Amino acid sequence: MSPSEGLLTGADGVRLYYRQVGSGVDTLVVPNAAYMFDDFVALADDHSVIFYDLRNRGRSDPVTDSTLASAIQGGVDDLEAARAHFGVERISLLAHSSVCTLAILYAAQYADHVERVVLIGPAPPELSKQYPPHLTGADAVLREISAELADLRAEARWHDPDFCEKWGALIRKLFVVDPADAGKINWDVRGLPNETPLKLMKGWEAAARALSALNIDADTLAPVEMPVLIIHGRRDRQAAYGGARDWALRLPNARLVTVDNGAHLPWIEAPDLVFGSIREFLAGRWPQAARAVTALDSNDG
């Protein structure tokens, strides 16, 4: 099953790289192709799946506009342009990390075009909100690797290949509960100018500023009536588990699958649970492991 690939025109004329695979009746759209394709291409067994790189990411065009409109609304408009490019009336979405916010805002603005939404490891709806320690993944590994990353940042040898390799290795260790599992992460973005450590670091900082400026209130989320499945590792160091519970409480029709021994890439630690839940959900059913959340801090997850 060979993917077709190319460039489509997003908002403001930005060119977005895409890979399309599968021939299922239902269409699933997955942003961040450079990182998501290899791990999620198996979903094309049952669906037509469109992977694409966000503006300023992967093989898509770089942009110099770092304003909120470009970072957030531009991304929402790009997603709509991708849907229209392929002529699909209704799509399901699968997003990871901070891209989940973009997916939810798209579902709110274009609800008529969205069938279902899967959020994996979403950033909290309020980025500045502090959760109690047991609803975060703050641990000794986070403290140790954060210190090592700070030391590397002070060196600032951003164009040294050995430096970049060490930086990437540390980031991977943060993304899994057991640092020994970092080798299971198969991202290969070498040679992509949008994915250098310096560009990524600046991008993360810009995304944090943009997300912090958002006001995602009940009125914003009211149109998101379609089913939303949230999958989150309880030990996620990058996006607090409490944020996933927050989303599940705020969204009108959401349920949460908790990966107890999972971090920011829970499909690495619990592939059967994660992919099994996604397949069940996209087939039109709530997975057995999905729970309705009734309180931020309770035992219902």
What pLDDT does 120 receive? 98
What pLDDT does 299 receive? 67
Total residues found in the chain within this entry: 301
Please state, in angstroms and rounded to a whole number, the distance separating the CA atoms of residues 301 and 289: 9
* Contact in structure between 3 and 20 (CB atoms under 8 Å): yes
What pLDDT does 214 receive? 87
Q: For residues 203 and 269, which has the higher predicted lDDT (pLDDT)?
A: 269
Q: Mark 116-129 as b/e (b = at least 16 C-beta within 10 Å).
A: bbbbbbbbbbebee
- Give the residue from 181, 184, 153 showing the smallest Cα distance to 167: 153
Please state, in angstroms and rounded to a whole number, the distance separating the CA atoms of residues 77 and 262: 32
What pLDDT does 301 receive? 62
What pLDDT does 281 receive? 98
Average pLDDT score, the chain: 92
Please state, in angstroms and rounded to a whole number, the distance separating the CA atoms of residues 71 and 203: 9
What pLDDT does 102 receive? 95
Rounded to an integer, the average pLDDT of 62-80 is 79
What pLDDT does 67 receive? 53
Please state, in angstroms and rounded to a whole number, the distance separating the CA atoms of residues 105 and 233: 23
Rounded to an integer, the average pLDDT of 11-22 is 94
244-259 pLDDT, tens digit each: 999 999 999 999 999 9
Q: Tokens standing for 76?
A: 């929402």
Domain 4-135+210-282 in CATH 3.40.50.2300 = no
232-245 pLDDT, tens digit each: 999 999 999 999 99
**C-alpha torsion sign, points 266, 164, 210, 174:** positive
Residue 217 makes CB contacts below 8 A (sequence gap 6+) with: none
Please state, in angstroms and rounded to a whole number, the distance separating the CA atoms of residues 152 and 198: 11
Residue 153 makes CB contacts below 8 A (sequence gap 6+) with: 201
Work out the widest C-alpha separation in the chain, in whole angstroms.
51
* Contact in structure between 82 and 74 (CB atoms under 8 Å): no
Neighbouring-strand partners of residue 95? 119
Question: Is the per-residue pLDDT at 298 higher than 90?
Answer: no
pTM of the predicted structure, to 2 decimals: 0.95
* Contact in structure between 100 and 122 (CB atoms under 8 Å): yes
Domain ranges of the chain: 4-135+210-282, 140-200
Query: pLDDT-derived band of residue 231, with 50, 70 and 90 as boundaries?
Result: very high
Residue type, position 247, single letter: W
Helix (H, G, I), strand (E, B) or coil at 138: coil
- Give the residue from 122, 117, 93 showing the smallest Cα distance to 225: 117
* Contact in structure between 32 and 96 (CB atoms under 8 Å): yes
What pLDDT does 184 receive? 93
Question: Is the per-residue pLDDT at 155 higher than 60?
Answer: yes
Please state, in angstroms and rounded to a whole number, the distance separating the CA atoms of residues 221 and 105: 8
159-182 pLDDT, tens digit each: 888 888 899 999 999 999 998 899
